[in-house]
């Protein structure tokens, strides 16, 4: 009996720890400047109060990346790129600027960009119609044929701020500038850095500090990355699978997300688009907690009736991959955030609780990410 009470106390501490983490996260939302993020999303920012350092704000996860030297800028641009077909890429107007590199036909287009556009880099007028390639591109005509290129403004607007990679070519990178809604070729480190600097907009140090910074090294003194327990998902380049031999479950998550464990709580996994300073981040994180409970309990024990400062949006029971599950969502109006918690029952002694906290303004994006994680959970 004494050991049983001790185990129940430990289990209670697990749950308290889980929700304390959530509480600190909610309160951090109060400091978020959502309007600032909406204005700078996908842009290149220059620190005008320092030495003009350049940063890129990833439009998907609202993180800023330091561009540093030309090679650094080019590497980051390629790593954050999103694949696109040549057909879809042609719907976005091309911006012609001073591109560095060899220009064999002296038509104002470097050989690298001509390879990307499928024009003849040795002929200034690829189709021989009397207009050089650069003139035709600037006027949305096909430099290799007689037709006019169909520009899709609505499609272009959906790509603003993104870095696009030509998957049908050699992975050439393009940046879609939110200011003029045109795509700029990132052919090599020198081009990428030149474009980043020239398209950048000034920002104060105070405003820059409001935008979460992405850290390439996520390891801290208190946490460790669990890459040794991850593996790529077959036929899906965007996801990673987590499976720790010590625990009876696995799940899949976005490759762009970081995955960490606390050295103090090995049974708790932090999954999210946050940086080293977890509670200063203003976006989302998912906490996954494995619980082995003695004596056994029923799934209904995880149901809550209310939470301070929150409104319950829904609660429901469901079946996830043949396992019983219970989910509930709360909205925290004052802090512009919400929380979804799903508890999956493996058996009467084992449960997996998955909770997400996120900004209400990003609900549509994060609901899908959370749903994908939940639906990928499998027990051994």
pLDDT tens string 243-262? 888 889 999 988 877 777 76
Let me know whether 126 and 232 are in one domain: no
Nearest to 99 by CA among 20, 180, 195, 218: 195
Task: Identify the domain boundary among 142, 167, 196.
Answer: 196
- H or E segment to which residue 378 belongs: strand 378-379
Residue 273 pLDDT: 63
Let me know whether 375 and 232 are in one domain: yes
Can you give the pTM of this predicted structure? 0.51
Q: Read off the pLDDT of each residue in 287-304 and give the average, rounded to a whole number.
A: 85
Let me know whether 228 and 363 are in one domain: yes
Q: Is 35 a member of any domain? A: no
Let me know whether 313 and 259 are in one domain: yes
Distance between CA atoms of 158 and 302, rounded to whole angstroms? Answer: 40
Q: Is 5 a member of any domain? A: no
Residue 333 pLDDT: 78
Task: Identify the domain boundary among 170, 196, 222.
Answer: 196
What's the domain range around 347?
Answer: 213-379
What is the CB neighbour count within 10 angstroms for residue 158? 9
Beta strand 230-233 with 173-177 is unpaired
Let me know whether 190 and 229 are in one domain: no
Residue 361 pLDDT: 73
Q: Is 44 a member of any domain? A: no
Q: Is 274 a member of any domain? A: yes
Q: Is 8 a member of any domain? A: no
- Average model confidence (pLDDT) for the chain? 78
Let me know whether 356 and 284 are in one domain: yes
Let me know whether 238 and 333 are in one domain: yes
77's tokens: 């641009």
Q: Is 54 a member of any domain? A: no
Let me know whether 164 and 223 are in one domain: no
Let me know whether 115 and 260 are in one domain: no
Residue 189 pLDDT: 73
Q: Is 57 a member of any domain? A: no
Q: Are 4 and 339 in contact (CB under 8 A)?
A: no
Task: Identify the domain boundary among 143, 161, 196.
Answer: 196
pLDDT range class, residue 345, cuts 50, 70, 90: very high
Let me know whether 236 and 374 are in one domain: yes
pLDDT range class, residue 209, cuts 50, 70, 90: confident
Tell me the percentage of the chain whose pLDDT exceeds 70: 81
Let me know whether 219 and 192 are in one domain: no
Distance between CA atoms of 346 and 331, rounded to whole angstroms? Answer: 28
Let me know whether 191 and 99 are in one domain: yes
Q: Are 167 and 187 in contact (CB under 8 A)?
A: no
Q: State yes or no: pLDDT of 204 exceeds 80.
A: yes
CATH number of domain containing 291:
3.40.1000.10
Tell me the percentage of the chain whose pLDDT exceeds 90: 18
Q: Is 134 a member of any domain? A: yes
Lowest mean pLDDT, pick from 22-36, 111-125, 152-166, 168-182: 22-36
- Say how many domains are in the chain: 2
Residue 91 pLDDT: 93
């Amino acid at each position: 009996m004494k050991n049983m009470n001790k185990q129940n106390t430990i289990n209670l501490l697990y749950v308290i720890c889980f929700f304390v983490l959530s509480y600190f996260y909610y309160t951090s939302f109060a400091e978020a400047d959502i309007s600032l993020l909406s204005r700078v999303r996908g842009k290149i920012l220059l620190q005008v109060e320092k030495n003009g350092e350049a940063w890129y704000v990833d439009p998907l996860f609202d993180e800023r990346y330091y561009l540093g030297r030309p090679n650094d800028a080019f590497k980051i641009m390629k790593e954050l790129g999103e694949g696109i077909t040549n057909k879809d890429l042609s719907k976005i107007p091309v911006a012609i600027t001073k591109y560095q590199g060899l220009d064999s036909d002296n038509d104002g287009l470097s050989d690298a960009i001509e390879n990307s556009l499928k024009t003849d880099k040795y002929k200034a007028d690829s189709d021989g119609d009397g207009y050089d390639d650069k003139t035709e591109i600037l006027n949305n005509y096909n430099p290799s044929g007689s037709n006019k290129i169909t520009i899709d403004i609505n499609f272009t607007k959906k790509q603003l701020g993104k870095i696009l990679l030509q998957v049908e070519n050699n992975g050439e990178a393009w940046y879609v500038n939110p200011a003029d809604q045109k795509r700029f070729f990132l052919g090599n480190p020198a081009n990428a850095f030149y474009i980043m600097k020239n398209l950048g907009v000034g920002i104060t140090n105070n405003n820059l500090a409001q935008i979460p910074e992405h850290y390439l090294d996520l390891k801290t003194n208190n946490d460790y990355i669990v890459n040794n327990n991850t593996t790529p998902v077959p036929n899906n380049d965007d996801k990673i699978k987590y499976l720790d031999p010590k625990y009876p479950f696995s799940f899949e998550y976005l490759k762009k997300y970081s995955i960490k464990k606390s050295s103090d709580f090995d049974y708790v996994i932090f999954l999210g688009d946050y940086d080293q300073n977890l509670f200063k981040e203003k976006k989302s994180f998912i906490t996954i907690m494995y619980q082995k409970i003695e004596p056994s309990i029923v799934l209904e024990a995880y149901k809550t009736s209310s939470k301070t400062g929150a409104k319950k949006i829904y609660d429901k029971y469901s079946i996830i991959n043949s396992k019983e599950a219970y989910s509930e969502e709360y909205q925290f109006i004052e802090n512009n955030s919400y929380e979804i918690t799903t508890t999956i029952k493996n058996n009467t002694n084992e449960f997996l609780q998955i909770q997400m906290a996120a900004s209400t303004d990003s609900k549509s994006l994060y609901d899908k990410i959370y749903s994908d994680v939940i639906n990928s959970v499998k027990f051994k």
